[in-house]
């Protein structure tokens, strides 16, 4: 199993709306992709911004490619992300999951 991690930041004032937007787009996209084994969306306030982290779990790199395309290390963005994000990771980090409980 693989874990995929991405981070992005919004203004605090946009955090609730971005969370709702991601529930309708990103979370649905992950869950509807074959081979996705789970998704966690977390957030925290940092100064004037709110940091969002997506942690997703996948059965294989092929499953990740089905979601992310031919360059799986590139982050996937949705139509209105530019409206919300003040900063973002342009790439994701993949980890081999050694144990999960």
| Domains of the chain, start order | 2-96 (3.30.70.100)
pLDDT digits (tens, 9 = 90+) for 42-79: 999 999 999 999 999 999 999 999 999 999 999 999 99
Question: What pLDDT sits at residue 18?
Answer: 97
User: Taking the chain, what is the end-to-end CA distance rounded to the nearest angstrom?
Assistant: 13
Question: What pLDDT sits at residue 69?
Answer: 94
Segment 19-38 mean pLDDT: 94
Q: Is the pLDDT of residue 101 over 90?
A: no
Torsional class of 38: left (φ above 0), alpha (ψ -120 to 50), beta (otherwise): left
What predicted TM-score, i.e. pTM, was given to this entire model?
A: 0.93
Segment 23-30 mean pLDDT: 92
């Amino acid at each position: 199993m693989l874990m995929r991690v991405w981070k992005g930041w919004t203004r605090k004032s946009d955090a609730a709306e971005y969370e709702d937007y991601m529930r309708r787009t990103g979370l649905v996209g992950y869950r509807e992709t074959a081979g996705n084994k789970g998704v966690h969306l977390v957030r925290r306030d940092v100064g004037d911004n709110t940091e969002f982290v997506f942690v997703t779990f996948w059965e294989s790199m092929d499953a990740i490619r089905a979601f992310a395309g031919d360059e799986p290390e590139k982050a996937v963005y949705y139509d209105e992300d530019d409206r919300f994000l003040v900063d973002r990771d342009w790439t994701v980090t993949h980890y081999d999951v050694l144990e999960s409980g």
